[in-house]
Chain A
Amino acid sequence: MSDLAGLYQQLILDHSKNPVGWHPLASPTASSHQVNPTCGDEVTLDIEVREGVIAAVGWQGHGCSISQASASLLAGLVEKSTVENASALLDEFREALRSRGTIELDEERFGDAIALNGVSKYVARVKCAMLPWVALEATLAG
Protein backbone atom coordinates (compact mmCIF):
# COMPACT_ATOMS: atom_id res chain seq x y z
CA MET A 1 0.00 0.00 0.00
CA SER A 2 1.38 3.42 -0.95
CA ASP A 3 1.69 6.03 1.79
CA LEU A 4 -1.21 7.95 0.28
CA ALA A 5 -3.47 4.89 0.25
CA GLY A 6 -2.31 4.24 3.82
CA LEU A 7 -3.39 7.72 4.79
CA TYR A 8 -6.72 7.58 3.02
CA GLN A 9 -7.86 4.08 3.90
CA GLN A 10 -11.32 3.16 2.68
CA LEU A 11 -12.58 3.21 6.26
CA ILE A 12 -11.58 6.88 6.55
CA LEU A 13 -13.26 7.84 3.30
CA ASP A 14 -16.39 5.94 4.38
CA HIS A 15 -16.51 7.61 7.79
CA SER A 16 -16.00 11.06 6.26
CA LYS A 17 -18.95 10.49 3.92
CA ASN A 18 -21.24 8.64 6.35
CA PRO A 19 -20.23 9.88 9.79
CA VAL A 20 -21.18 8.22 13.07
CA GLY A 21 -22.79 10.35 15.79
CA TRP A 22 -23.53 13.27 13.46
CA HIS A 23 -26.10 15.13 15.54
CA PRO A 24 -26.18 17.59 18.41
CA LEU A 25 -27.18 16.28 21.87
CA ALA A 26 -30.41 17.53 23.42
CA SER A 27 -28.92 17.90 26.89
CA PRO A 28 -25.14 17.82 26.78
CA THR A 29 -23.23 18.14 30.04
CA ALA A 30 -20.34 19.64 28.10
CA SER A 31 -19.61 20.76 24.57
CA SER A 32 -16.68 22.23 22.70
CA HIS A 33 -16.27 24.00 19.38
CA GLN A 34 -12.81 23.70 17.81
CA VAL A 35 -11.50 25.42 14.69
CA ASN A 36 -8.30 24.82 12.80
CA PRO A 37 -7.40 28.40 11.83
CA THR A 38 -5.15 27.42 8.93
CA CYS A 39 -7.83 25.57 6.98
CA GLY A 40 -11.12 26.46 8.63
CA ASP A 41 -11.99 22.89 9.63
CA GLU A 42 -14.54 22.86 12.44
CA VAL A 43 -15.85 20.34 14.93
CA THR A 44 -18.46 20.89 17.62
CA LEU A 45 -18.56 17.99 20.05
CA ASP A 46 -21.26 17.38 22.69
CA ILE A 47 -20.97 14.81 25.46
CA GLU A 48 -23.40 13.76 28.14
CA VAL A 49 -21.69 12.34 31.22
CA ARG A 50 -23.66 10.39 33.82
CA GLU A 51 -21.98 8.84 36.86
CA GLY A 52 -18.54 8.90 35.32
CA VAL A 53 -19.66 7.40 32.01
CA ILE A 54 -19.99 9.18 28.65
CA ALA A 55 -23.61 8.18 28.07
CA ALA A 56 -23.92 9.94 24.72
CA VAL A 57 -21.69 11.65 22.13
CA GLY A 58 -22.78 13.85 19.25
CA TRP A 59 -20.85 16.07 16.90
CA GLN A 60 -21.13 18.21 13.82
CA GLY A 61 -18.56 19.88 11.67
CA HIS A 62 -17.01 20.32 8.29
CA GLY A 63 -13.55 19.98 6.89
CA CYS A 64 -11.12 17.53 5.34
CA SER A 65 -11.76 13.80 5.31
CA ILE A 66 -9.16 13.21 8.05
CA SER A 67 -10.73 15.59 10.57
CA GLN A 68 -14.26 14.44 9.86
CA ALA A 69 -13.43 10.71 9.89
CA SER A 70 -11.49 11.20 13.11
CA ALA A 71 -14.54 12.78 14.75
CA SER A 72 -16.77 9.98 13.51
CA LEU A 73 -14.38 7.30 14.78
CA LEU A 74 -14.02 9.12 18.10
CA ALA A 75 -17.79 9.21 18.56
CA GLY A 76 -18.03 5.45 18.07
CA LEU A 77 -15.10 4.84 20.37
CA VAL A 78 -15.88 6.89 23.47
CA GLU A 79 -19.66 6.50 23.68
CA LYS A 80 -20.47 4.29 26.70
CA SER A 81 -16.82 4.60 27.82
CA THR A 82 -15.90 5.82 31.30
CA VAL A 83 -14.52 9.33 31.49
CA GLU A 84 -11.33 7.81 32.85
CA ASN A 85 -10.95 5.48 29.87
CA ALA A 86 -11.79 8.22 27.37
CA SER A 87 -9.11 10.38 28.94
CA ALA A 88 -6.60 7.53 28.66
CA LEU A 89 -7.59 6.97 25.00
CA LEU A 90 -6.98 10.65 24.34
CA ASP A 91 -3.46 10.43 25.76
CA GLU A 92 -2.69 7.27 23.77
CA PHE A 93 -4.14 8.76 20.59
CA ARG A 94 -2.11 11.93 20.91
CA GLU A 95 1.10 10.02 21.64
CA ALA A 96 0.65 7.76 18.60
CA LEU A 97 -0.36 10.59 16.24
CA ARG A 98 2.63 12.69 17.24
CA SER A 99 5.09 9.79 16.91
CA ARG A 100 5.84 10.32 13.18
CA GLY A 101 4.87 6.75 12.50
CA THR A 102 6.92 5.12 15.28
CA ILE A 103 3.99 4.28 17.61
CA GLU A 104 0.84 2.58 16.33
CA LEU A 105 -2.61 2.73 17.89
CA ASP A 106 -3.46 -0.45 19.82
CA GLU A 107 -6.12 -2.31 17.80
CA GLU A 108 -7.71 -3.79 20.93
CA ARG A 109 -8.15 -0.33 22.39
CA PHE A 110 -8.96 1.63 19.23
CA GLY A 111 -10.73 -0.82 16.91
CA ASP A 112 -11.52 0.78 13.52
CA ALA A 113 -9.83 4.00 14.60
CA ILE A 114 -6.45 2.35 13.91
CA ALA A 115 -7.23 3.39 10.32
CA LEU A 116 -5.85 6.76 11.45
CA ASN A 117 -2.38 5.27 12.01
CA GLY A 118 -1.27 6.49 8.57
CA VAL A 119 -1.79 10.11 9.60
CA SER A 120 1.13 10.19 12.02
CA LYS A 121 3.64 10.11 9.15
CA TYR A 122 2.09 13.29 7.75
CA VAL A 123 3.10 15.90 10.29
CA ALA A 124 0.98 18.60 8.62
CA ARG A 125 -2.14 16.46 8.95
CA VAL A 126 -1.80 15.41 12.59
CA LYS A 127 -3.71 18.51 13.67
CA CYS A 128 -6.59 17.48 11.37
CA ALA A 129 -6.96 14.12 13.13
CA MET A 130 -6.46 15.75 16.54
CA LEU A 131 -9.19 18.37 16.08
CA PRO A 132 -12.12 16.33 17.53
CA TRP A 133 -9.85 14.90 20.20
CA VAL A 134 -8.94 18.41 21.32
CA ALA A 135 -12.68 19.05 21.53
CA LEU A 136 -13.04 15.90 23.64
CA GLU A 137 -10.24 17.09 25.90
CA ALA A 138 -12.02 20.42 26.41
CA THR A 139 -15.34 18.73 27.20
CA LEU A 140 -13.71 16.36 29.69
CA ALA A 141 -11.92 19.27 31.35
CA GLY A 142 -15.08 21.38 31.40
Chain B
Amino acid sequence: MPLTESEILAIREDFPLLTTTVNGSPLVYLDSAATSQKPLAVLDAERDFYLHRNSAVHRGAHTLAALATEEFEEARATVARFVGVDADEIVWTSNATEGINLVAYGQRLQPGDEIVVTESEHHANLLPWQQLAKRSGATLRFIPVDDEGGLRLDLLPEIVTNRTRVVAFAHVSNVLGTIAPVAELVAAARAVGAIVVLDACQSVPHLPVNLRDLDVDFAVFSGHKMLAPTGIGVLYGRRERLATLPPFLTGGSMITTVTMESAEFLAPPQRFEAGTQRVSQAIALATAIDYLSAIGMDRIAAHGTAISTRLLAGLARIEGVRVLTGRGDRVGLAAFDVEGVHAHDVGQFLDDRGIAVRVGHHCAQPLHRRLGLTATTRASGSIYTTEAEIDFFLEALAEVRTFFGVNA
Protein backbone atom coordinates (compact mmCIF):
# COMPACT_ATOMS: atom_id res chain seq x y z
CA MET B 1 0.00 0.00 0.00
CA PRO B 2 1.40 3.42 -0.90
CA LEU B 3 2.12 5.94 1.84
CA THR B 4 -0.94 7.93 2.88
CA GLU B 5 -1.02 11.71 2.74
CA SER B 6 -0.89 11.93 6.53
CA GLU B 7 2.06 9.55 6.69
CA ILE B 8 3.96 11.63 4.14
CA LEU B 9 3.21 14.81 6.08
CA ALA B 10 4.52 13.13 9.23
CA ILE B 11 7.67 12.09 7.36
CA ARG B 12 8.15 15.67 6.15
CA GLU B 13 8.32 16.81 9.77
CA ASP B 14 11.65 14.97 9.94
CA PHE B 15 13.09 16.96 7.02
CA PRO B 16 13.34 20.63 8.07
CA LEU B 17 14.96 21.59 4.77
CA LEU B 18 11.65 20.90 3.03
CA THR B 19 10.13 23.97 4.72
CA THR B 20 12.62 26.22 2.89
CA THR B 21 11.27 29.01 0.69
CA VAL B 22 12.81 29.39 -2.78
CA ASN B 23 12.20 32.54 -4.81
CA GLY B 24 9.24 33.38 -2.61
CA SER B 25 7.58 29.99 -3.02
CA PRO B 26 7.67 26.88 -0.83
CA LEU B 27 10.40 24.53 -2.02
CA VAL B 28 9.12 21.63 -4.14
CA TYR B 29 12.10 19.32 -4.15
CA LEU B 30 11.92 17.00 -7.15
CA ASP B 31 15.63 16.21 -7.45
CA SER B 32 15.95 13.27 -5.09
CA ALA B 33 17.49 11.05 -7.77
CA ALA B 34 20.46 13.43 -7.76
CA THR B 35 20.60 13.54 -3.97
CA SER B 36 17.98 13.00 -1.31
CA GLN B 37 17.30 15.25 1.63
CA LYS B 38 18.34 14.03 5.09
CA PRO B 39 16.08 13.42 8.09
CA LEU B 40 16.96 14.75 11.52
CA ALA B 41 17.65 11.23 12.76
CA VAL B 42 20.53 10.93 10.28
CA LEU B 43 21.93 14.36 11.10
CA ASP B 44 21.63 13.57 14.81
CA ALA B 45 23.39 10.23 14.41
CA GLU B 46 26.42 11.87 12.86
CA ARG B 47 26.48 14.63 15.46
CA ASP B 48 25.98 12.18 18.30
CA PHE B 49 28.95 10.14 17.16
CA TYR B 50 31.17 13.22 17.10
CA LEU B 51 29.83 14.42 20.45
CA HIS B 52 30.28 11.17 22.34
CA ARG B 53 32.30 8.46 20.61
CA ASN B 54 34.56 10.02 17.98
CA SER B 55 37.81 8.11 17.54
CA ALA B 56 39.66 6.10 14.92
CA VAL B 57 38.40 2.64 14.07
CA HIS B 58 40.40 -0.58 13.75
CA ARG B 59 43.42 0.86 15.54
CA GLY B 60 44.19 1.82 19.10
CA ALA B 61 42.96 -0.01 22.16
CA HIS B 62 41.28 2.72 24.16
CA THR B 63 37.63 2.60 25.11
CA LEU B 64 36.36 5.12 22.60
CA ALA B 65 38.23 3.42 19.76
CA ALA B 66 36.61 0.13 20.70
CA LEU B 67 33.14 1.72 20.83
CA ALA B 68 33.65 3.47 17.49
CA THR B 69 34.90 0.26 15.88
CA GLU B 70 31.95 -1.68 17.20
CA GLU B 71 29.49 0.91 15.90
CA PHE B 72 31.25 1.12 12.54
CA GLU B 73 31.06 -2.65 12.10
CA GLU B 74 27.46 -2.72 13.29
CA ALA B 75 26.70 -0.19 10.53
CA ARG B 76 28.25 -2.58 8.03
CA ALA B 77 26.03 -5.37 9.33
CA THR B 78 22.97 -3.12 9.02
CA VAL B 79 23.79 -2.39 5.39
CA ALA B 80 24.38 -6.09 4.70
CA ARG B 81 21.04 -7.13 6.22
CA PHE B 82 19.28 -4.39 4.26
CA VAL B 83 20.41 -5.84 0.92
CA GLY B 84 20.33 -9.51 1.96
CA VAL B 85 24.04 -10.32 2.12
CA ASP B 86 26.72 -10.88 4.78
CA ALA B 87 28.69 -8.14 6.50
CA ASP B 88 32.07 -9.35 5.23
CA GLU B 89 30.79 -8.85 1.69
CA ILE B 90 30.23 -5.12 2.25
CA VAL B 91 33.07 -2.70 1.45
CA TRP B 92 32.82 0.99 2.33
CA THR B 93 33.67 3.39 -0.45
CA SER B 94 33.39 7.14 -0.91
CA ASN B 95 30.60 6.76 -3.43
CA ALA B 96 29.26 4.33 -6.01
CA THR B 97 31.71 5.58 -8.64
CA GLU B 98 34.64 4.55 -6.47
CA GLY B 99 33.08 1.11 -6.03
CA ILE B 100 32.81 0.54 -9.79
CA ASN B 101 36.38 1.73 -10.30
CA LEU B 102 37.54 -0.59 -7.51
CA VAL B 103 36.03 -3.56 -9.33
CA ALA B 104 37.15 -2.42 -12.79
CA TYR B 105 40.75 -1.91 -11.69
CA GLY B 106 40.76 -5.39 -10.19
CA GLN B 107 39.93 -7.13 -13.48
CA ARG B 108 42.77 -8.75 -15.39
CA LEU B 109 41.60 -8.73 -18.99
CA GLN B 110 43.43 -9.14 -22.26
CA PRO B 111 42.83 -8.53 -25.97
CA GLY B 112 39.98 -10.74 -27.14
CA ASP B 113 38.08 -10.37 -23.86
CA GLU B 114 34.89 -8.36 -23.91
CA ILE B 115 33.08 -6.13 -21.43
CA VAL B 116 29.34 -5.53 -21.91
CA VAL B 117 27.40 -2.52 -20.64
CA THR B 118 24.15 -0.93 -21.85
CA GLU B 119 23.58 2.17 -23.92
CA SER B 120 21.56 3.71 -21.10
CA GLU B 121 24.30 3.62 -18.45
CA HIS B 122 25.21 6.51 -16.21
CA HIS B 123 28.75 7.64 -17.05
CA ALA B 124 29.85 6.14 -13.72
CA ASN B 125 29.08 2.67 -15.06
CA LEU B 126 30.55 3.36 -18.50
CA LEU B 127 33.83 5.23 -18.16
CA PRO B 128 35.52 2.78 -15.74
CA TRP B 129 34.83 0.02 -18.30
CA GLN B 130 35.97 2.17 -21.24
CA GLN B 131 39.20 2.79 -19.38
CA LEU B 132 39.58 -0.88 -18.48
CA ALA B 133 39.19 -1.73 -22.17
CA LYS B 134 41.84 0.85 -23.08
CA ARG B 135 44.29 -0.44 -20.47
CA SER B 136 43.84 -4.11 -21.21
CA GLY B 137 43.13 -4.21 -24.93
CA ALA B 138 39.74 -5.78 -24.22
CA THR B 139 36.70 -4.68 -26.25
CA LEU B 140 33.79 -2.73 -24.78
CA ARG B 141 30.42 -3.70 -26.23
CA PHE B 142 26.97 -2.47 -25.34
CA ILE B 143 23.38 -3.57 -25.42
CA PRO B 144 21.66 -0.87 -27.49
CA VAL B 145 18.33 0.70 -26.62
CA ASP B 146 15.31 1.11 -28.90
CA ASP B 147 13.59 4.39 -29.74
CA GLU B 148 11.84 4.40 -26.34
CA GLY B 149 15.04 3.69 -24.44
CA GLY B 150 14.15 0.03 -23.75
CA LEU B 151 17.02 -2.47 -23.77
CA ARG B 152 17.29 -4.52 -26.97
CA LEU B 153 17.26 -7.88 -25.20
CA ASP B 154 16.69 -9.59 -28.55
CA LEU B 155 20.35 -8.80 -29.31
CA LEU B 156 21.60 -10.33 -26.05
CA PRO B 157 22.74 -13.62 -27.61
CA GLU B 158 24.95 -11.74 -30.09
CA ILE B 159 26.40 -9.39 -27.52
CA VAL B 160 26.97 -11.60 -24.49
CA THR B 161 29.18 -14.40 -25.79
CA ASN B 162 31.91 -16.72 -24.55
CA ARG B 163 34.33 -13.80 -24.92
CA THR B 164 32.37 -11.74 -22.34
CA ARG B 165 34.13 -11.37 -19.00
CA VAL B 166 32.03 -8.61 -17.39
CA VAL B 167 28.39 -7.58 -17.74
CA ALA B 168 27.69 -4.24 -16.02
CA PHE B 169 24.33 -2.47 -15.93
CA ALA B 170 22.10 -0.23 -13.86
CA HIS B 171 19.37 -1.87 -11.79
CA VAL B 172 17.24 1.26 -12.32
CA SER B 173 18.06 3.81 -15.02
CA ASN B 174 18.66 7.27 -13.58
CA VAL B 175 17.09 8.80 -16.71
CA LEU B 176 14.30 6.40 -17.65
CA GLY B 177 13.39 5.30 -14.14
CA THR B 178 12.82 1.77 -15.42
CA ILE B 179 13.84 -1.40 -13.60
CA ALA B 180 16.22 -3.55 -15.63
CA PRO B 181 15.39 -7.21 -16.42
CA VAL B 182 18.06 -8.37 -13.97
CA ALA B 183 17.23 -12.09 -14.13
CA GLU B 184 17.54 -12.20 -17.91
CA LEU B 185 20.83 -10.28 -17.96
CA VAL B 186 22.29 -12.33 -15.10
CA ALA B 187 21.28 -15.58 -16.83
CA ALA B 188 23.02 -14.47 -20.03
CA ALA B 189 26.18 -13.59 -18.08
CA ARG B 190 26.10 -16.82 -16.05
CA ALA B 191 25.75 -18.89 -19.20
CA VAL B 192 29.11 -17.62 -20.45
CA GLY B 193 30.86 -17.36 -17.08
CA ALA B 194 30.99 -13.54 -17.00
CA ILE B 195 30.80 -11.59 -13.75
CA VAL B 196 27.83 -9.26 -13.19
CA VAL B 197 28.29 -5.74 -11.81
CA LEU B 198 25.07 -3.98 -10.79
CA ASP B 199 24.75 -0.22 -10.38
CA ALA B 200 22.08 -0.14 -7.70
CA CYS B 201 22.20 3.60 -6.96
CA GLN B 202 18.63 4.25 -8.05
CA SER B 203 17.13 0.98 -6.83
CA VAL B 204 18.33 0.50 -3.25
CA PRO B 205 16.79 3.80 -2.04
CA HIS B 206 13.40 3.04 -3.58
CA LEU B 207 12.82 -0.73 -3.80
CA PRO B 208 13.27 -3.81 -1.63
CA VAL B 209 16.56 -5.20 -2.98
CA ASN B 210 18.05 -8.58 -2.14
CA LEU B 211 21.42 -8.82 -3.85
CA ARG B 212 21.77 -12.53 -3.01
CA ASP B 213 18.48 -13.27 -4.75
CA LEU B 214 19.49 -11.12 -7.73
CA ASP B 215 22.60 -13.33 -7.95
CA VAL B 216 24.97 -10.54 -8.99
CA ASP B 217 28.71 -10.67 -8.26
CA PHE B 218 29.17 -7.01 -7.41
CA ALA B 219 26.81 -4.13 -6.70
CA VAL B 220 27.30 -0.50 -5.74
CA PHE B 221 25.12 2.17 -4.22
CA SER B 222 25.51 5.55 -2.69
CA GLY B 223 24.50 6.82 0.75
CA HIS B 224 23.55 10.34 -0.23
CA LYS B 225 20.75 9.16 -2.51
CA MET B 226 19.14 7.23 0.37
CA LEU B 227 18.84 9.86 3.12
CA ALA B 228 22.48 9.52 4.29
CA PRO B 229 25.32 12.05 4.00
CA THR B 230 27.65 12.44 1.03
CA GLY B 231 31.03 10.72 1.20
CA ILE B 232 29.79 7.20 1.92
CA GLY B 233 29.12 4.52 -0.66
CA VAL B 234 28.78 0.77 -0.59
CA LEU B 235 30.32 -1.97 -2.67
CA TYR B 236 28.90 -5.44 -2.32
CA GLY B 237 31.08 -8.27 -3.56
CA ARG B 238 30.17 -11.92 -3.47
CA ARG B 239 32.52 -13.48 -0.90
CA GLU B 240 34.47 -15.63 -3.35
CA ARG B 241 34.80 -12.73 -5.80
CA LEU B 242 36.14 -10.33 -3.18
CA ALA B 243 38.60 -13.03 -2.07
CA THR B 244 40.36 -12.99 -5.44
CA LEU B 245 40.08 -9.27 -6.16
CA PRO B 246 43.38 -7.38 -5.76
CA PRO B 247 43.45 -4.19 -3.66
CA PHE B 248 42.61 -0.91 -5.37
CA LEU B 249 43.91 1.74 -2.99
CA THR B 250 46.78 0.71 -0.74
CA GLY B 251 48.11 2.14 2.51
CA GLY B 252 47.30 1.93 6.19
CA SER B 253 44.62 -0.28 7.75
CA MET B 254 44.55 -2.84 4.96
CA ILE B 255 47.67 -4.87 5.79
CA THR B 256 48.94 -7.59 8.12
CA THR B 257 52.72 -7.37 7.71
CA VAL B 258 54.74 -4.68 5.98
CA THR B 259 58.46 -4.65 5.20
CA MET B 260 60.37 -2.09 3.15
CA GLU B 261 60.01 -4.38 0.16
CA SER B 262 56.52 -5.84 0.34
CA ALA B 263 53.25 -6.17 2.23
CA GLU B 264 50.66 -8.78 3.10
CA PHE B 265 47.08 -7.65 2.80
CA LEU B 266 44.16 -8.21 5.13
CA ALA B 267 41.18 -10.29 4.05
CA PRO B 268 38.16 -8.52 2.54
CA PRO B 269 36.50 -6.21 3.28
CA GLN B 270 39.40 -4.45 5.06
CA ARG B 271 41.70 -5.18 2.11
CA PHE B 272 39.70 -2.59 0.19
CA GLU B 273 39.51 0.01 2.95
CA ALA B 274 42.88 1.74 2.94
CA GLY B 275 43.34 4.81 5.07
CA THR B 276 41.10 6.48 7.61
CA GLN B 277 37.50 5.40 7.16
CA ARG B 278 34.30 7.43 6.91
CA VAL B 279 33.06 6.44 10.33
CA SER B 280 30.39 9.02 11.04
CA GLN B 281 29.04 8.71 7.51
CA ALA B 282 28.81 4.92 7.78
CA ILE B 283 26.94 5.24 11.08
CA ALA B 284 24.65 7.85 9.55
CA LEU B 285 23.99 5.54 6.59
CA ALA B 286 22.96 2.76 8.97
CA THR B 287 20.60 5.24 10.65
CA ALA B 288 19.15 6.17 7.25
CA ILE B 289 18.58 2.48 6.57
CA ASP B 290 16.82 2.08 9.92
CA TYR B 291 14.65 5.06 8.98
CA LEU B 292 13.74 3.54 5.59
CA SER B 293 13.18 0.09 7.12
CA ALA B 294 10.82 1.51 9.73
CA ILE B 295 8.64 2.83 6.92
CA GLY B 296 9.11 -0.41 4.98
CA MET B 297 10.68 -0.78 1.56
CA ASP B 298 7.54 -2.41 0.12
CA ARG B 299 5.53 0.66 1.00
CA ILE B 300 8.28 2.98 -0.24
CA ALA B 301 8.24 1.12 -3.55
CA ALA B 302 4.45 1.45 -3.74
CA HIS B 303 4.82 5.18 -3.06
CA GLY B 304 7.33 5.38 -5.92
CA THR B 305 4.86 3.65 -8.23
CA ALA B 306 2.14 6.10 -7.20
CA ILE B 307 4.44 9.05 -7.92
CA SER B 308 5.45 7.57 -11.25
CA THR B 309 1.85 6.93 -12.29
CA ARG B 310 0.78 10.46 -11.38
CA LEU B 311 3.81 11.99 -13.09
CA LEU B 312 3.37 10.03 -16.32
CA ALA B 313 -0.38 10.65 -16.51
CA GLY B 314 0.13 14.36 -15.92
CA LEU B 315 3.01 14.69 -18.37
CA ALA B 316 1.01 12.90 -21.06
CA ARG B 317 -1.65 15.61 -20.79
CA ILE B 318 0.79 18.46 -21.50
CA GLU B 319 1.16 19.27 -25.17
CA GLY B 320 4.70 19.18 -26.53
CA VAL B 321 6.10 17.08 -23.68
CA ARG B 322 7.85 13.84 -24.60
CA VAL B 323 8.68 11.48 -21.74
CA LEU B 324 11.72 9.19 -21.95
CA THR B 325 9.76 6.14 -20.88
CA GLY B 326 11.97 3.14 -21.47
CA ARG B 327 10.23 -0.19 -20.91
CA GLY B 328 9.10 -1.98 -17.80
CA ASP B 329 8.22 -1.20 -14.21
CA ARG B 330 9.33 2.15 -12.84
CA VAL B 331 10.42 4.07 -9.78
CA GLY B 332 9.16 7.58 -9.04
CA LEU B 333 11.02 9.64 -11.59
CA ALA B 334 10.50 10.88 -15.13
CA ALA B 335 12.79 12.66 -17.57
CA PHE B 336 11.21 14.52 -20.44
CA ASP B 337 11.78 16.90 -23.32
CA VAL B 338 9.69 20.03 -23.81
CA GLU B 339 9.47 20.66 -27.53
CA GLY B 340 10.91 24.03 -28.47
CA VAL B 341 12.25 24.87 -25.00
CA HIS B 342 15.73 23.93 -23.83
CA ALA B 343 15.90 21.95 -20.58
CA HIS B 344 17.86 24.71 -18.85
CA ASP B 345 15.11 27.17 -19.66
CA VAL B 346 12.49 24.70 -18.39
CA GLY B 347 14.45 24.29 -15.17
CA GLN B 348 14.83 28.04 -14.76
CA PHE B 349 11.10 28.59 -15.22
CA LEU B 350 10.29 25.91 -12.61
CA ASP B 351 12.93 27.24 -10.21
CA ASP B 352 11.15 30.58 -10.28
CA ARG B 353 8.18 28.75 -8.71
CA GLY B 354 10.40 27.06 -6.12
CA ILE B 355 10.46 23.74 -7.99
CA ALA B 356 13.86 22.00 -8.01
CA VAL B 357 14.39 19.60 -10.91
CA ARG B 358 17.49 18.29 -12.66
CA VAL B 359 18.32 19.54 -16.16
CA GLY B 360 20.97 18.36 -18.58
CA HIS B 361 22.11 14.94 -19.73
CA HIS B 362 22.02 13.43 -16.21
CA CYS B 363 25.46 11.88 -16.81
CA ALA B 364 24.01 9.76 -19.62
CA GLN B 365 25.12 11.43 -22.83
CA PRO B 366 25.05 8.29 -25.02
CA LEU B 367 21.42 7.57 -24.09
CA HIS B 368 20.39 11.15 -24.84
CA ARG B 369 22.25 11.09 -28.14
CA ARG B 370 20.54 7.82 -29.08
CA LEU B 371 17.13 9.35 -28.34
CA GLY B 372 17.99 12.44 -30.41
CA LEU B 373 18.33 14.79 -27.45
CA THR B 374 21.15 16.66 -25.75
CA ALA B 375 19.44 17.66 -22.54
CA THR B 376 16.22 16.80 -20.72
CA THR B 377 14.43 17.80 -17.53
CA ARG B 378 14.04 15.21 -14.79
CA ALA B 379 11.61 15.23 -11.89
CA SER B 380 12.30 12.65 -9.19
CA GLY B 381 10.55 11.96 -5.92
CA SER B 382 11.26 10.32 -2.60
CA ILE B 383 9.39 9.28 0.53
CA TYR B 384 8.64 12.92 1.34
CA THR B 385 7.13 13.78 -2.06
CA THR B 386 3.41 14.55 -1.96
CA GLU B 387 0.75 14.30 -4.66
CA ALA B 388 0.16 18.03 -4.23
CA GLU B 389 3.81 18.69 -5.13
CA ILE B 390 3.54 16.57 -8.28
CA ASP B 391 0.38 18.45 -9.25
CA PHE B 392 1.98 21.84 -8.55
CA PHE B 393 4.93 20.83 -10.74
CA LEU B 394 2.65 19.64 -13.55
CA GLU B 395 0.61 22.87 -13.45
CA ALA B 396 3.77 24.96 -13.71
CA LEU B 397 5.17 22.80 -16.49
CA ALA B 398 1.97 23.26 -18.50
CA GLU B 399 2.77 27.00 -18.69
CA VAL B 400 6.35 26.65 -19.92
CA ARG B 401 5.78 26.60 -23.66
CA THR B 402 3.43 29.57 -23.49
CA PHE B 403 5.98 31.57 -21.49
CA PHE B 404 8.69 30.87 -24.05
CA GLY B 405 6.37 31.64 -26.93
CA VAL B 406 6.42 28.23 -28.58
CA ASN B 407 2.79 27.24 -27.98
CA ALA B 408 1.65 28.06 -31.49
Contacts and interface: CB of A to CB of B under 8 A. Distances in A.
A27 B368 CA distance: 33
Contact of A64 (B342, B365, B368, B403): B342
A125 B349 CA distance: 12
A78 interface: no
A8 interface: yes
Q: For the side of the interface on B, what is the size category?
A: 10 to 19
A8 B345 contact: yes
Contacts of A13: 404-405
B345 A62 contact: no
B11 to A, nearest CB: 29
Contact of B342 (A3, A4, A65): A65
Nearest to B373: A40
B348 A39 contact: no
Nearest to B368: A40
A39 B404 contact: no
A66 interface: yes
Contacts of A38: 360
A125 B374 contact: no
A40 B341 CA distance: 14
A40 B360 contact: yes
B343 A39 contact: yes
Interface in A82-140: 122, 125, 128
B348 A7 contact: yes
A64 B344 contact: yes
A4 B349 contact: yes
A63 interface: yes
B374 A62 contact: yes
Q: For the side of the interface on A, what is the size category?
A: 10 to 19
Contacts of A65: 341-342, 345, 404
Contacts of A62: 374
Nearest to B341: A65
B140 to A, nearest CB: 22
Given A62-B374, A65-B342, A39 B403 contact: no
Given A8-B403, A8-B404, A13-B404, A40 B345 contact: no
B361 A40 contact: yes
B84 to A, nearest CB: 37
Contacts of B374: 39-41, 62-63
Interface in A43-89: 62-66
Interface in A1-48: 2-4, 7-8, 13, 17, 38-41
Contact of B348 (A40, A41, A63, A122): A122
B352 interface: yes
B397 interface: no
Interface in B98-154: none
Interface string B318-358: 00000000000000000000000111110011001000000
B276 to A, nearest CB: 32
Contacts of B348: 4, 7-8, 122, 125
B375 interface: yes
B28 interface: no
Contacts of B345: 8, 64-66
Given A40-B375, A62-B374, A65-B345, A4 B361 contact: no
Nearest to A68: B342
B375 A4 contact: no
B168 interface: no
Contact of A39 (B23, B341, B375): B375
A77 B342 CA distance: 24
Given A8-B404, A39-B361, A65-B404, A2 B343 contact: no
A13 B349 CA distance: 14
A4 B403 CA distance: 10
A17 B405 CA distance: 10
Nearest to A65: B345
Contacts of B352: 2-4
B360 A39 contact: yes
A4 B368 CA distance: 28
B359 interface: yes
A92 B359 CA distance: 29
Of A4, A7, A40, A62, most buried by chain B (CB within 10 Å of CB) is A40
24 contacts: A2-B352, A4-B349, A7-B348, A8-B348, A8-B403, A13-B405, A17-B405, A38-B360, A39-B344, A39-B359, A39-B360, A39-B361, A40-B360, A40-B374, A40-B375, A41-B374, A62-B374, A64-B345, A65-B341, A65-B342, A66-B344, A66-B345, A122-B348, A128-B344
Given A3-B23, A7-B348, A64-B344, 4 more contacts: A4-B352, A39-B344, A39-B374, A65-B342
Q: Which 7 A-B pairs have the closest CB atoms?
A: A64-B344, A64-B342, A40-B374, A4-B352, A39-B360, A64-B345, A65-B345
